[in-house]
Structure 1
């Protein structure tokens, strides 16, 4: 009997504990409901406080595309660039075409493409041929040497002041001068070795190179023209304050004068006195990008707005060539395969020296869009 009373007592105690736990929860629920009712009442009476307001303007544009669009932009293929930046005839009579799509070799008489050379970098800035016929290729990623017998790259990875090659020239000793946007380098083509550099070049960038009658090197820079002694590789004189300042192209005339093209003029310079003799009148205010003398002693002048043929002694315009792939002229090779070959910003063309007929080379121009 005592055991039964004890069990009943324990059960009753447990029931009391449960009631004590439930009562606070019920109170909390009633309190929560009271709080929610109060908030609703406050919102109904204070709509201006709890109702959001919006400025009547569109959202600002995004500064960057969404990740998916960025990925598409990074992986999509760029359209081809048909700039023909360098032309180099070789000893066999073939013509080498340096462009922003690579290096090619053609027969200039027929226009037939003889080879397309695979290059580590496709952007060609300059071409030169050494004494034994090897083709040196200056790209925007460094210097290469191509064997014309196999049409293969045989030497590369030279240590230059800058890998962005802008100009090249073989001097009378057979050495190769390489101009970059950070100075000059002198290379032995036979050994394939870098001999010296001229990194503190006045005017910094070696945009254009030519030799005078004495065999000395003249360099067109961002600030005039510098004469460099080929034996010591030291600057020995400078022409400053010329119209246009930047010298983009440089060549030696048949009379021994230097012809320099700037963004607003064509200048004739005496290399002995370092004086500008004259500014060619028809080219004043025009951006001169390429100059080459022909066998008939006339001079071809390429600009960013057309190609002209001049009489060198007077500057008289003998003719202007139309119907080229582009009026922006980048490179010239006269008297090659009885033609004048013209590299433009939109491809390659040739001009007949007998009839004056102009024809594009369809292997090096953009295909016309279908109508």
Structure 2
């Protein structure tokens, strides 16, 4: 009965007939203990060094990532530095660190500031809202279509657009509530965003450009025949033209008809990661192999900056503290007018290790 309840099956005992062999073996169960063992006359095995502590090996093998993933100038004139080591705020005039913000996830990929000054932080685990006056988290982990946030943008009405690797989300910054979700985004991944002169949203995806009506969240236009397909950086020129950074070139696109006006010659064959127009009318272009300043009308190279912590440029912030701030895969640097060589910010590189 008990066996059946426990799911066990009782089998009848099986008795094997005794043989002459098994009748003589082990007649004395203590015989082997009293026997004198015989060892072969060979030298002992070589000594093996003790293995190191596995935890120590793991900790020493993990490399710190010094990537500066996003730079954002705020309404007070300070510069927010998002990295894969956390979030900091610095004075762009002096470079002094004002504060460091403690976040549940330090792998930051996107930053935005809403109309009342709240900071929104996107990372690989969702979205976090930070009060810059208290440095406290006031909202986090909204129900996004994906927790991997790639881009953030506040439109002219003050609403927050959140780009993920699975679509777009429109959020009310005050309540921290999702207003609408655009899951079936052509090109799927919202890699980069910018606003045009009409206040409409342009999204760079894995398959070109999408124009979205910021009031209705409906797709207005799709440009999917771009050479290189994937758009990984976006900017709108003072003339209202779209500059799109691709894995193999930099394109200038007419937003009215979607026609590619030109491929900027010096950037052909280069992976463009960041584009920023400066107050002097020039345009800074960061790539995976260097930083250039261009004449936007002719495409000619005005400057090629050396001295960066890494030639792999990730993000740019122009005209902050009379400097261009450059985030690279190996730390933060700055460039002043008439300086061809960048100066690294030692607090964000390997010098602080």
> Do the two structures share a fold, i.e. TM-score over 0.5?
yes
Secondary structure at the aligned position of 2:162 is classed as strand
- Is 1:342 aligned to 2:326, yes or no? yes
Residues 368 and 141 of structure 1: is their aligned pair in 2 closer, same or farther, counting only changes over 3 Å?
closer
Matches of 1:368 and 1:103, distance apart in 2: 16
In the alignment, which of 213, 233, 252 is matched to residue 249 of structure 1?
233
For 2:102, the equivalent position in structure 1 comes to: 118
Deviations 1:130-155 (A, max 9, x none): 11111111111110111111122211
For 2:72, the equivalent position in structure 1 comes to: 88
For 2:40, the equivalent position in structure 1 comes to: none
For 1:49, the equivalent position in structure 2 comes to: none
For 1:231, the equivalent position in structure 2 comes to: 215
1:234 CA displacement: 1.5
Count of residues paired in the alignment: 308
For 1:353, the equivalent position in structure 2 comes to: 337
For 2:317, the equivalent position in structure 1 comes to: 333
Unpaired stretches in structure 1, ≥5 consecutive residues: 1-23, 30-66
Matches of 2:345 and 2:294, distance apart in 1: 25
Matches of 1:350 and 1:75, distance apart in 2: 32
1:236 CA displacement: 1.7
Deviations 1:13-37 (A, max 9, x none): xxxxxxxxxxx99xx79xxxxxxxx
CA RMSD across the alignment: 2.1
1:286 CA displacement: 0.6
For 2:118, the equivalent position in structure 1 comes to: 134
Kept in 1, the 8 Å contact 2:324–2:335? The answer is yes
1:201 CA displacement: 0.2
Deviations 1:135-192 (A, max 9, x none): 1111111101111111222111211111111101000100000001101110011111
For 1:168, the equivalent position in structure 2 comes to: 152
- Is 1:363 aligned to 2:339, yes or no? no
Matches of 1:191 and 1:318, distance apart in 2: 46
In the alignment, which of 248, 256, 259 is matched to residue 243 of structure 2?
259
Secondary structure at the aligned position of 2:152 is classed as strand
Q: Following superposition of structure 1 onto structure 2, how do residues 17-32 of structure 1 map, counting pairs within 5 Å?
A: none
Structure 1 stretch 146-155 or stretch 96-105: which is displaced more? 146-155
In the alignment, which of 279, 283, 287 is matched to residue 271 of structure 2?
287
1:326 CA displacement: 0.3
Calculate the TM-score normalised by the size of structure 2: 0.83
Matches of 2:95 and 2:341, distance apart in 1: 15
Unpaired stretches in structure 2, ≥5 consecutive residues: 1-19, 26-50
Deviations 1:37-68 (A, max 9, x none): xxxxxxxxxxxxxxxxxxxxxxxxxxxxxx99
Matches of 2:132 and 2:61, distance apart in 1: 31
Secondary structure at the aligned position of 1:367 is classed as helix
Residues 213 and 157 of structure 1: is their aligned pair in 2 closer, same or farther, counting only changes over 3 Å?
same
In the alignment, which of 317, 341, 344 is matched to residue 301 of structure 2?
317
For 1:14, the equivalent position in structure 2 comes to: none
Q: Following superposition of structure 1 onto structure 2, how do residues 43-192 of structure 1 map, counting pairs within 5 Å?
A: 78-192=62-176
Matches of 1:349 and 1:199, distance apart in 2: 37
Secondary structure at the aligned position of 1:260 is classed as strand
For 1:203, the equivalent position in structure 2 comes to: 187
1:368 CA displacement: 8.5
Matches of 2:55 and 2:342, distance apart in 1: 43
Calculate the TM-score normalised by the size of structure 1: 0.79
